[in-house]
Amino acid sequence: MKEAVQIVQEIEKASSIVITSHRSPDGDSIGSSLAVYHFIEALGKKAQICHPDPCPTFLNWVKGDVDIVDYENSPEEVGKLMDEADLIFCLDYNGAGRLGNEMGDLLLKTSGKKVMIDHHLNPDDFVDIPVSEPSVCSTSQLIFELIESSGRVDVLNTKIGTPIYLGIMTDTGSFRYSSVAPRTHEILSKLLQVGVQHTDVHEQTFDNNRIDKLRLRAHIIAERLELIKDYHVAIISVTEEELERFNFIKGDTEGLVNVALSIEGVNVAVFFTEKGEAVKISFRSKGDIAVNELASDHFDGGGHKNAAGGISHDGLVDTINRFKTLIPNYFEV
């Protein structure tokens, strides 16, 4: 990473550092944020993580005693911290809009130097130091590259390494996606060498399920699954009423779209989630089948070739029906 030395120099001279990441936090956004936080700490500096909304409960374990201030609950505090920052990290997102309209506007108005580290396609021009590597499996892997390329691998420890491992693990479907490269496994090996307990990361993330979470997931698969067999497409969906009935909390449906994708004969899976007047859409696919173009063309979204997201304001039923009409245009029989 050619920008690594410059980024560390910016950290060393900054007096107020803020770390941001995208809405609807996941393992990679949380992991990369915490890894940068602890790296900055190891360099003798302090930082504050400011996210648009709270960390999902199933990832709370990795935070330890680190406080993540979120705009949803503390907009004035986040605004003040961002306004005072002279260095702002923009992790795991490629445009200010991914913070949400209000926090995104705050970011664009700040005078602090901005560093983007991200692996999504087509980044906007909104930062001073952009690091964009779409071929890399996760932003967390890029944080390791930052540390190593800056010549400061000597500070790598479990505080930094554990969230890096978490981010890589979750953004690669536990290392099974095609985005995993030999370099990824080299990095995982180095993380284990500094003491990262990989079994603990897996267990803490995947083996602490609430009973309501399991019942919700079972209900969605049993009652809300539809197969479009001719096109090898699986559709799952959930209404806001169903989420409330099963006492939904953020993170309960994380990864469920991949369960639909795992069905024999299915090459594309789409998960529609009703939330207020909006419908959040998660797209997944296998192999050479791209879903990011469909998400971008019709659902105000985008992402990676095999993993993308979108949104609709047409209502759940109408959104699903619209998606069905598009299937022949994007997927072969």
Give the DSSP letter of residue 72: T
Do 36 and 156 contact (CB within 8 A), yes or no? Answer: no
- Residues of the chain predicted below pLDDT 50: none
For residue 332, the model assigns a pLDDT of 87
Do 240 and 267 contact (CB within 8 A), yes or no? Answer: no
For residue 87, the model assigns a pLDDT of 98
For residue 303, the model assigns a pLDDT of 87
Helices (H), 48-110: 75-84, 101-109
How do residues 38-66 score in pLDDT, each as one tens digit?
999 999 999 999 999 999 999 999 999 99
Strands (E), the chain: 17-21, 47-51, 68-70, 87-91, 113-118, 129-132, 225-228, 233-238, 268-275, 278-285, 302-303, 307-312
**Residue whose entry in the numeric block shows the structure tokens 């979204």:** 301
Residue type at 19?
I
**CATH superfamily entry for domain 4-206:** inorganic pyrophosphatase (n-terminal core) (3.90.1640.10)
For residue 333, the model assigns a pLDDT of 81
Each domain of the chain, given as residue ranges in start order, spans 4-206, 211-330
How are strands ordered across the β-sheet holding 129-132? 68-70, 47-51, 17-21, 87-91, 113-118, 129-132
CATH of 211-330, one of 3.40.50.1390, 3.10.310.30, 3.30.420.40, 3.40.50.2300: 3.10.310.30
For residue 234, the model assigns a pLDDT of 98
Residue type at 205?
T
